[in-house]
Structure 1
Amino acid sequence: MSQLSKVKSRRKFISPVFHLQTKDEDGEHITEDVIKNVKQTGKLNLSSRHLASVPEKMFKIYDVRDKNEVNVDYSRNIREEEAWWNIKPLTNLDLSSNVLTSLPDKISMFQDLAVLNLQDNLLTMLPPEICELTRLTRLSLNRNKINKLPKNINQLTELRYLCISHNCLECISKNISDLVMLEMLDISNNIISKLPPGIGFLVRLTELNVSNNKLTELPPDIVNLRALLKLDISHNNIEHLPEFGELRKLQIFYAQHNDIQEIPSFRSCEQIQEIYLGNNFIKEIPLEFCEVMCHLKTLELRDNQIESVPSEITNLVHLTKFDLTNNDITELPFTMGLMPHLQILKLEGNKLRQIRPDIIQGGTNRILKYLREKISEEDLKTLNVPSDVSYDNRTYPDRFSMKNGNILNLAMKNIAEIPDECFHEAKKAEVHTVDLCKNKFTAVPLGLKLISDLLTELNLSSNQLKEVPEFLKDFTKLKFCDLSNNYLNSLHESFSSMVSLRELILSNNRFGKIPECIFGMTGLEILLLNDNKVEQIPMEGLKELKRLATLDLSNNNLHQIPPELGNMIQLRCIELRGNPFRHPRPAILGQGTESILSYLRDKIPR
């Protein structure tokens, strides 16, 4: 036998890695059980079926004339759930994660469709008939190869959610401004160079993501999006930003990796909590910014050209994270040591003269302590702060002072208990924020129960707590909880019911593992567990946190990082430095979150 014939004879035993299904094989996924379920629920899930085409049988599910697809029973023994008057129309269709290259124009026959998921396919265009699905409220098209949207997309007037990320779009039609019901628009990771001027008409928009495009500017009417909560313009080529004062509800602003030269004005943005401006060309922090950003909690200005930090930065009294990594700063105002909520201060990569490198490497607490020790009597008088920084004034606020801002603020009062009368007054004032940081509490005040149905923010950091009582689970509206700088080593398992919690800070405690209750907090977006004794990352639990965007596990006892962590692509910030693992190497860690996740994904066994 020749050498060539031997090769041919072996080929039939080789199983291909991927087999492109035929139309008949695609149709086999529409079984009698599937048809029955569709008619009972109105939902059809064909996700991850390796479909190369949309099954023809799908369009005959409701066709009573086709005897091969539907058995009509005219007897009186028909089941109630199978009766024609109880059949539900198709409202939810999931065709995601297949290899579809086209969508049949017959899709328009499903006039009751409210949800259509086409993400993770190979679509290059959409049929114009898709615009006839006028009841659509949710359309997912991300991760395809679409280079153009249908001209009549403005007919989808009921659309609330539109995701077209990771495609090949070069422009967005101005007709998109007619989708006035839109609440979420994601057009990130395309090659768009300009946004349509009418985007300001989308007045119900709460989230807009235009990151990873080729934008050089933002349209002026973007400030008309007064319902906007989250704006992401990161990874573009934008040089100048408009004044964002009209975006009064804005809470999170991402603008990293652009060409921005000045911090824009955020005057009147009283609800903003997080600003990310890293990797730009910013040279200074404006005084006006320090005066109006008193509610800000996170400020990221890493990899810019900032030369100095104004002493007015202490006006940012709620700031918890301040990242100034890799700038040109030579000095810091010593009064920064008095910022009551600052938990993370990053200064690596600067040219600081007054702070030794070993102090910077010692972490935030050591830096702040050093700065406090350097404060002069003159500075203290200017700030109207007593020299021992003990804040001995123990006067509890009354109802009327708490009513202004709906906050009970007893930070740095050097107290160990609070009278119940204070919480009764807080309830009458409808307090939703309680700040008890930097005191001497050994137990969580029981009086907090009185406002459990009101509380959205709770700060108990820098106290002497060894445990957190179970009644905290009853705080169903709690979104922010800071328990850092205490003596905690566990959390009650019932806390898993706190699904409204968005940010949980457990830094500088004694946790030997990530508390299991955290994996039930499905609304969690920020988790800070740095400076503990955590030894491993349980991926089975962590992957349940689908909304997690920030994860800080720096300065723990992690000996290895599971490669599966790289699959959590929703993470925008991950900190792993200060652990005894060998991989990823420090060089990888220094390249940022995307590089870390990419490195870990490459290590997943295939």
Structure 2
Amino acid sequence: MSRRGGNKFANRRPGPGFQARESEPPVPAGLIKTARKSGQLNLSNRQLTEVPQSVWRINVDPPEESHLNVSFNASDRWWDQTDLTKLILASNKLQCLSEDLQLLPALSVLDVHDNQLSSLPCAIGQLLNLQKLNISHNKLKELPDELWNLKSLKSLHLQHNELEQIPENIGQLVHLEELDVSNNQLLTVPNTLGELSSLLQFNLANNKLKSIPSEISNMRSLKVLEATHNELECVPPELAKMASLEQLYLRHNRLRHLPEFPSCKFLKELHVGNNQIEYLGAEHLKSLSAIIVLELRDNKLKSLPDEIILLQHLERLDLTNNDISSLPYVLGNLPKLKSLLLEGNPLRAIRRDIINRGTQELLKYLRSRIQEEPTGQGDNSSATAMTLPSESMINMYAMATQKVLEYSDRKAIVVPDEVFDASEGAPITTVNLSKNLLTEVPSRISGLKTTVTDVNLGFNKLSSVSLELCTLEHLIHLDLRNNILTSLPMEIKRLQRLQTIILSFNRFKEFPYALCHIPTLETILISNNQVGSIDAFQLMQLDKLITLDMQNNDIMQVPPELGSCINLRTLLLEGNPFRNPRAAILARGTTAVLEYLRNRIPT
């Protein structure tokens, strides 16, 4: 780093008449010069104990070169400089900010997180253009009244300080969209928070709150409410009126009852683990029509109601460490459920080996236990009024009304041509050929390529995937579980609309990276194979991948780069021989695993 004035006297000792001054890293002249043009100055992580005057006065004093008898080109004319709008002073050793802060009235972003500030100057109230203020990770015990003059603020980060209260004047920040007061010493929060009608994200986690004011329900725009690690014994019923709420985190509190959410039609994630909830009833589930993630781990639940079937969009259900002894069989009919976590429950009616096979096998078992009317395979009792007697093997009704070509559980070695003949002219969208003895994919399946979106070839004897299957370019869901597949052809990448593929219980020794050329993939289930390694860099190409199940394989090492797959909501790695991440980290869920991996990416 070059120092202003050169190093001519750098090695000269101070004489008797001089006092040695503690050296402090200066702000390079080049940074100041660049900031005058760009309006942005980043001084983070420079060991600063105070902000140099040249920063506060950057828009007030002309640069030193303006006093010289030189001519300026267009890029160096100081009188054409840009007002500073963004100032980052994060990760230094600042104990205070000067009142000269008022000399930067154009600031829209001020970031002073990770310092040693115990107070803020009153002058901060004069930054009327400020939209984002980050003063987290400091030592603030109180906030100046002038802070509430900042009516343009959209983002306010106050987390990791020593605040014991939030002033009622916070309700004046009516344009605030993001507020984080987590990891403080808050015992209460003011009712005036309800006046923040523009707020989208609100984080109250890791405080000492025993209650949340009912006025919070007036936050009509709120999408994410985080109140984990508090002392809440209940939440106000008014919370159910928050129609825009999408994610609610209430983990690690003292809740005994699950709230009811009759108006939260958009609630997608509900996290209430580590509480004392003993009962879950139909009244709690009937309004959660949009729920995708329901996390109930570490509670005292003894049962689930049959109304769990109402959660038709549910993808992840975490019931770890409860007192559940049996499951409702209808759970097996949840169409989108990909992750069902049950460890730590005294389940008696389901064998442990079934649970250990993974979610899909468990759901299959539950479906098999549902008492249904016998279908009468192969006899006339199964023929409907629209089924021709000579074609009792073919469900014409399903073809005509449900657009389904159904020929499953026949122990068939081949699919008769008559089945495909009967489908001609019908807009078939679903093909179910599961539970047979097929050794290859029927070639005539390619005749359905213009309409079919869902194919089930599970529980057969397939050793390879034919190119005919790869012509189904409208395919969205493909089920190939319980076969003897060892690989997929590169032509599989033609399925450019595929969202879900199930490859569990096959014989893959290598991950089929041909799938990484299908950008629409959201779910890959490849548990119970023999996959020995993961190439994280190839998986990172799948930026829409939400669920990856690689349980019960032979993975010896999990690459840290897998943590960069930030869109993953469900990552299942249990049952592999790797040592890290440890089982305790895996048990904390996908977010904890990804964070663990990211922290170990080499820099």
Any residues of structure 2 matched to 1:468-507 within 5 Å, and which?
A: 482-485=500-503, 489-490=512-513, 504-507=522-525
User: Which blocks of at least 5 consecutive residues in structure 2 are unaligned?
Assistant: 1-19, 376-382, 384-392, 404-427, 435-444, 459-467, 482-487
Corresponding residue of 1:255: 250
- Pick closer, same or farther for the CA change 1:238–1:412 going to 2, 3 Å: farther
Does residue 508 in structure 1 map to residue 521 in structure 2? no
Cα RMSD (Å): 4.1
Does residue 552 in structure 1 map to residue 549 in structure 2? no
- Pick closer, same or farther for the CA change 1:201–1:460 going to 2, 3 Å: farther
Corresponding residue of 1:426: none
AA partner of residue 513 (structure 1)? I
AA partner of residue 95 (structure 1)? L
Match of 2:24, SS state, is helix
Corresponding residue of 1:580: 577
AA partner of residue 312 (structure 2)? V
- Asked whether the 8 Å contact 1:307–1:328 carries over to 2, the reply is yes
Corresponding residue of 1:528: 548
- Asked whether the 8 Å contact 1:490–1:515 carries over to 2, the reply is no
Pick one of 48, 53, 58 that aligns with 1:56: 53
- Asked whether the 8 Å contact 1:208–1:231 carries over to 2, the reply is yes
- Larger deviation, residues 231-240 vs 581-590: 581-590
Instruction: Give CA-to-partner distance per residue, 1:100-130, whole Å, 9 cap, x none.
Output: 1111111111001011111111111111111
User: Which blocks of at least 5 consecutive residues in structure 1 are unaligned?
Assistant: 1-20, 381-385, 399-408, 424-434, 449-458, 555-576
Instruction: Give CA-to-partner distance per residue, 1:400-422, whole Å, 9 cap, x none.
Output: xxxxxxxxx97887796897886
CA shift for structure 1 position 334: 1.4
Does residue 344 in structure 1 map to residue 361 in structure 2? no
- Asked whether the 8 Å contact 2:49–2:94 carries over to 1, the reply is yes
Distance in 2 separating the partners of 1:470 and 1:256: 41
Instruction: Give CA-to-partner distance per residue, 1:174-200, whole Å, 9 cap, x none.
Output: 111111111111111111111110111
Match of 1:208, SS state, is strand
CA shift for structure 1 position 324: 0.8
Instruction: Give CA-to-partner distance per residue, 1:49-80, whole Å, 9 cap, x none.
Output: 11111122212333445x6x4435676x5221
Corresponding residue of 2:312: 317
Distance in 2 separating the partners of 1:23 and 1:397: 81
Match of 1:231, SS state, is strand
Pick one of 42, 54, 72 that aligns with 1:78: 72
CA shift for structure 1 position 391: 12
Match of 2:279, SS state, is coil
AA partner of residue 489 (structure 1)? P
CA shift for structure 1 position 536: 3.9
Distance in 2 separating the partners of 1:275 and 1:468: 40
AA partner of residue 266 (structure 1)? F
Match of 2:513, SS state, is coil
Does residue 36 in structure 1 map to residue 33 in structure 2? yes
Does residue 462 in structure 1 map to residue 479 in structure 2? yes
AA partner of residue 289 (structure 2)? C
Question: What TM-score results when the alignment is normalised by the length of structure 1?
Answer: 0.73
Corresponding residue of 2:198: 204
Corresponding residue of 2:148: 154
Distance in 1 separating the partners of 2:429 and 2:557: 36
- Asked whether the 8 Å contact 2:555–2:577 carries over to 1, the reply is no
- Larger deviation, residues 45-54 vs 262-271: 262-271
- Asked whether the 8 Å contact 1:493–1:516 carries over to 2, the reply is no
- Pick closer, same or farther for the CA change 1:214–1:270 going to 2, 3 Å: same
- Pick closer, same or farther for the CA change 1:592–1:343 going to 2, 3 Å: closer
Instruction: Give CA-to-partner distance per residue, 1:334-380, whole Å, 9 cap, x none.
Output: 12122221111111111222112222222212222221222212699
Distance in 2 separating the partners of 1:91 and 1:153: 18
Any residues of structure 2 matched to 1:154-173 within 5 Å, and which?
A: 154-173=148-167
Distance in 1 separating the partners of 2:130 and 2:341: 46
Distance in 1 separating the partners of 2:126 and 2:455: 56
Any residues of structure 2 matched to 1:254-293 within 5 Å, and which?
A: 254-293=249-288
CA shift for structure 1 position 288: 2.3
Corresponding residue of 1:112: 106
Corresponding residue of 1:393: 398
Match of 1:377, SS state, is coil
Question: What TM-score results when the alignment is normalised by the length of structure 2?
Answer: 0.73
AA partner of residue 29 (structure 1)? V
- Larger deviation, residues 131-140 vs 331-340: 331-340
- Asked whether the 8 Å contact 1:247–1:269 carries over to 2, the reply is yes
Match of 1:200, SS state, is helix
AA partner of residue 477 (structure 2)? L
- Asked whether the 8 Å contact 2:503–2:525 carries over to 1, the reply is yes
Match of 1:446, SS state, is coil
- Larger deviation, residues 461-470 vs 116-125: 461-470
Bigger radius of gyration among the two: 2
- Asked whether the 8 Å contact 2:554–2:576 carries over to 1, the reply is no
Corresponding residue of 1:216: 210
Distance in 1 separating the partners of 2:284 and 2:524: 29
Any residues of structure 2 matched to 1:392-411 within 5 Å, and which?
A: 393-394=398-399
* Identical-residue share of aligned pairs (%): 33
Match of 2:286, SS state, is helix
CA shift for structure 1 position 514: 3.9
Match of 2:340, SS state, is strand
